[in-house]
Amino acid sequence: MLDCDIAPICKFDRKNYFYPDMPKNYQISQYDMPLCVNGTVPLHDLAYPKDAQKNIATPDKEVHLVRIHLEEDVAKSFHFETSTGIDFNRAGTPLMDIVTQPEINSPEEAFAFLTSLKQILVYGAVSDADMEKGQLRCDCNVSRASGETDGARCEDRDQKNMNSISGVRRALALKFRGKRSARARRETPTGNARLGRCCRRNVSDAHKGIGA
């Protein structure tokens, strides 16, 4: 479905760290031998938001994938004014991470990517991909060209666990506007923003598998 290269052998690794949403102090994940690598997600015209379909910067674009790996999900944190609650019901359930190349150049392309990917997962019977239920979540990393000749990039803070496609678009549009304003004030080096994103798909539903 995604034209990935499926690994003949993959393995799981133990990632050691402490955080309240993983109280056993380690997470089972895949590091150097993931489930599969490469692959693409096509950005069809109708996957873009309706208000952007007449002005698509790169028609028939494909976003290339870096890898798809499996790991266990962590608990869900709820932050209140003076305290934090943690729901452990989903902790330890299987999670599939889909990592892209930094080729998504606008909030509208991010919207189209998530829409296309969701359609593939649903029609391939991989997942219901219901974002309101946490079955599909999105982490975004926004970076800009540093201006150096070696092509180095300056990373920005992640946008974590976003659970709606329109919300991803709004969050990225706000971040892009902030970067343009900062550049106008000469607070950051000139450069073009790029999105390297990681899509997290929960596969804990008993009636859904990983295969397609």
What digits encode the pLDDT tens for the residues 134-181? 889 998 887 766 555 455 555 566 777 888 999 999 988 887 776 566
Question: Could you identify the residue written with the tokens 């397609």?
Answer: 212
How far, CA to CA in Å, does 159 sit from each of 32, 58, 131, 198?
25, 25, 16, 10
| pLDDT, tens digit (0-9, with 9 covering 90-100), for 82-134 | 999 999 988 888 999 999 998 999 999 999 999 999 999 999 998 899 988 88
Q: How far apart are the first and last CA of the chain?
A: 8
| pLDDT, tens digit (0-9, with 9 covering 90-100), for 26-84 | 999 999 999 999 999 999 999 999 999 999 999 999 999 999 999 999 898 888 999 99
Distance, in Å, from the CA atom of 10 to the CA atom of 32, rounded to the nearest integer, reads 9
Q: Provide CB contacts within 8 A for 116, sequence distance 6+.
A: 41, 42, 43, 44, 47
How is the chain split among helix, strand and coil, in percent rounded to 5? 20, 35, 45
**Which run of H or E residues covers position 95?**
strand 94-100
User: Mind giving me the DSSP string for 46-68?
Assistant: GGS-GGGTTS-SSTT-EEEEEEE
Domain ranges of the chain: 5-206
Distance, in Å, from the CA atom of 129 to the CA atom of 75, rounded to the nearest integer, reads 19
How far, CA to CA in Å, does 110 sit from each of 104, 123, 143, 161, 169?
6, 20, 14, 15, 7
Distance, in Å, from the CA atom of 179 to the CA atom of 189, rounded to the nearest integer, reads 10
